[in-house]
Structure 1
Amino acid sequence: MNWPTQKLETVADFCLGKMLDQKKNRGEHLPYLANVNVRWGEFDLADLREMRFEQHELDRYGLKYGDIVMCEGGEPGRCAIWKEQRSSMMIQKALHRIRPHDCLRPEFLYYFFLHKGRTGHLASLFTGSTIKHLPREKLALVEVPVPPRSTQDQIASVLSAYDDLIESNRRRIQLLEQAARLLYKEWFVHLRFPGHEHSRIIDGVPEGWEKKTAFEVMDVLSGGTPKTTNPSFWEGDIPFFTPKDVTDFAYSHDTEKSITEAGLKNCNSNLYPKDTVFITARG
């Protein structure tokens, strides 16, 4: 598709958030997003902190509907689109706030950056050898496609419909998993399982049940990581599960990283089958 392109700095207003400085900051306490609150395509608003903002800072550091919020460090390029999930939301310095001009529909620009970020096409802009960053001056030079507005609307509408469906299914899954947790607690913690009225409790468990250690009923194994400096170990077809892949759902269907057969042979981890339970040891 031969759509015209323009540098981001010509089609959007963007800035970094405010530096957290408890001694210097003045104004009203307001909630803000930090790097950890921005996930791929969504926000984690469960544990928000507050910072002081003055009146003249509200427009610069405040979020409006359609703003794209992107991580500057940690995992640069990770982004989500703000849809007024909460009022009076601000951003911290580790985040870029991208506000497109009228020539771009916010959702179209968001899906452009989501694709670029998830497929590694922004990696050439990163700085830093250990901790990666995506500086503002590098982001400004990204070439953004600017198709006719009608084309943008069509693309954004189709992709948004899929996202809405995914979100609806996610909420249903959360409700089902919550029900499963409550049922588990009712049956196996409070011991109010079907027929419990006729069961004797002996040594804390119903008659006929046994108490065993985890090592007696399962294999408890550890993981390992191939050398990150060897590119031949990475970007293969084998999913590589890390603490970042832990979600609120019981099952993980995707991982951010993947390794090759060579990577598997050169790390201390086994290839684990479906229905393996992972418990994070740290992080």
Structure 2
Amino acid sequence: MKLKTKFKQTSLGSIPEDWESIAFSELCDITRGASPRPIHDWFADSGIPWIKIADATRSDSRFIDSTKQHIRSEGRLMSVVVHPGDLILSNSATPGIPKFVNIEACIHDGWLLLRKFNKLDKKFAYYLLINERPNIVQFGSGSIFTNLKTEILKNHTICLPPLPTQHRIAEILSSLDDKIELNRKMNKTLESIAQATFKEWFVGFRFPGYEKVKMVESEMGKIPEGWGVGTLKDEFVIVMGQSPKGSSYNEVGDGIIFFQGSTDFGDRFPTVRLFTTEPKRIAEKFDVLISVRAPVGDINVALDKCCIGRGVAAVHSDRKSYALYKMRSLVEHLRRFNAEGTVFGSVNKTSLENIITIMPGKEVINTFEKCVNEIDKEITTVPVIFLVIQAVPTIGYF
């Protein structure tokens, strides 16, 4: 692209003379979502998808294709309906995350809806919001988690290039994101293969050489000879999270990465949004992370050493892949704890450690680890690539 040679002074500093300094309120309509009340009375097994912040943070994708919860269809009259192609922005819990909606759904007041774009390419707006997120979030309020008022985004001023430049920027970045989406789908396939292998070997008992192994009785039914029955604490070290002081939280990278609960969880790896300078409990790199407070049973993997809050437990093992797929095989068992607790489901350390499970022979575990760990290494590369692309200061150089 041709470099700009003439600049002008604005309230934001020096910018190319064909760019403009303009507030978001002049570029699109911004409305806030809404909820039928009380919301828990509206949840249903089917109906209209209900987009929560966790539906955005559990995936690095640009798109929201599905939700974990639905509300009754008539609830749409008391909420805000979004349609495929709409651009939304989180304004609470984990504020400043833009997402394109690929489904018809409803959004609560933790979301802003952007429509009727004027002088602003919608795809460019998505990347612009990612780039501007730190500048927008700093004006939010809240003692622990930052919340954004609608006026903060409306009044936020940005440097806007001409539409042809916006189109080119969006085209380049979309192309990169398309490659990431393709890799993500490939990773889903790899992950399915790994989980299917675990099920074949450790649930169906059809591991390499199984034909030569005698089946014997156990308290959990017939199992291969040499295997046993034990509890999770017999196989893994389980660390329950403990939240640091709220005053130690920050979003600027001071201290160590901090994950509070399932809101931070993604498809496989959690989203980094908070740090703490006073960590209490630590999960090591590639430890399995489990949500232990509503909802119980979500599973992620720590991409790096991190602090875990009271909504998370870490499962540590030298056999990382085996630990991951073993815990994923127990998800339905873990979900049962959602019925416990006075208000919200939860599971304590004793209950988690004492889950009874079949304990395979070490030789089979080691063979599985050697085989599947190579798949897991391939899967790990995608979020790293994504973070590198996000870090490129694209907007300011076109």
Q: State the TM bucket, normalised to the shorter chain.
A: 0.7 to 0.9
Counterpart CA distance in 2 for 1:277 and 1:74 is 23
CA distance in 2, matches of 1:232, 1:103: 35
Q: Distance in 2 between matches of 1:156 and 1:246?
A: 27
Work out the CA distance in 1 between the residues paired with 2:201 and 2:95. 44
Q: Which residue of 2 aligns with 1:268?
A: 280
Bigger shift: residues 230-239 or 183-192: 230-239
1:215–1:18: structure 2 CA closer, same or farther, 3 Å change rule? closer
Go from structure 1 to structure 2 and tell me whether the alpha carbon gap of 1:211 and 1:43 turns closer, same or farther (over 3 Å shift): same
Distance 1:241 1:194 in 2: 38
- Per the TM alignment, residue 254 of structure 1 is displaced from its structure 2 partner at its CA by 5.7
The answer to whether the 8 A contact 1:15-1:136 is kept is yes
The alignment status of 1:63 with 2:83, answered yes or no, reads: yes
3-state SS in 2 of match to 1:225: coil
Three-state SS of the structure 1 residue aligned to 2:112 is: strand
SS in 2 for 1:122: helix
Separation in structure 2 between the aligned mates of residue 255 and residue 131 of structure 1, nearest angstrom = 14
Q: Secondary structure at the match of 2:180?
A: helix
Among 173, 189, 201, the residue aligned to 1:175: 189
Cα deviation for residue 99 of structure 1 reads 1.7
- 2:200–2:207: 8 Å Cα contact kept in structure 1? yes
Partners of 2:48 and 2:270 lie apart in 1 by 36
Equivalent residues of 1:71, 1:96 under 8 A apart: yes
Q: TM-score if structure 2 supplies the norm length?
A: 0.58
Separation in structure 2 between the aligned mates of residue 30 and residue 89 of structure 1, nearest angstrom: 6
Q: What is the alpha-carbon root mean square deviation over aligned residues?
A: 3.1
Q: Which residue of 1 aligns with 2:325?
A: none
- Per mean C-alpha deviation after superposition, the further-off stretch among 217-226 and 10-19 is 217-226
Residue deviations 1:101-154 (CA, integer Å, cap 9, x gap)? 24111011111112222xx32223323435543122222101132201121111
The TM-score normalised by the length of structure 1 is 0.78
Match of 1:116 in 2: 132
Q: Is the Cα contact below 8 Å between 1:15 and 1:97 reproduced in 2?
A: yes
Q: Does 1:80 align with 2:99?
A: yes
CA distance in 2: counterparts of 1:220 and 1:36, whole angstroms: 24
SS of the residue corresponding to residue 240 of structure 2 reads: coil
Contact 2:24 2:155 survives alignment (8 Å): yes
Structure with greater proportional helix content: 2
CA distance in 2, matches of 1:206, 1:199: 6
- The 5-angstrom pairing of residues 142-153 of structure 1 reads 142-153=156-167
In structure 2, the CA distance between the partners of 1:76 and 1:226, relative to structure 1 (3 Å rule), is same
Pair 1:124–1:175, CA change in 2 (3 A): same
Q: Is the contact made by 1:239 and 1:254 (CA closer than 8 Å) also made in structure 2?
A: no
* Percent of aligned pairs sharing the same letter: 24
Q: Distance in 2 between matches of 1:233 and 1:46?
A: 27
In structure 2, relative to structure 1, the CA distance for the partners of 1:44 and 1:108 (3 Å cut) is: same
Comparing 237-246 with 6-15, which one deviates more in the overlay? 237-246
What is the alpha-carbon distance in structure 2 between the residues aligned to residue 180 and residue 168 of structure 1? 19
Gaps in structure 1 of 5+ consecutive residues: none
Give the 3-state SS of the residue equivalent to 2:246 in structure 1.
Answer: coil
Which whole-Å CA distance do the structure 2 matches of 1:76 and 1:277 have between them? 26
Please report how far the alpha carbon of residue 218 of structure 1 lies from its aligned counterpart in structure 2 after TM superposition.
3.1
Counterpart-to-counterpart distance in 2, 1:237 and 1:81: 32
Q: Which residue of 2 aligns with 1:46?
A: 67
Tell me the distance in 1 between the aligned counterparts of 2:250 and 2:22.
35
Q: Deviations over 1:205-239 (max 9, x none)?
A: 21223444433343222333332213689723633
The alignment of Structure 1 onto Structure 2 pairs a total of residues equal to 262
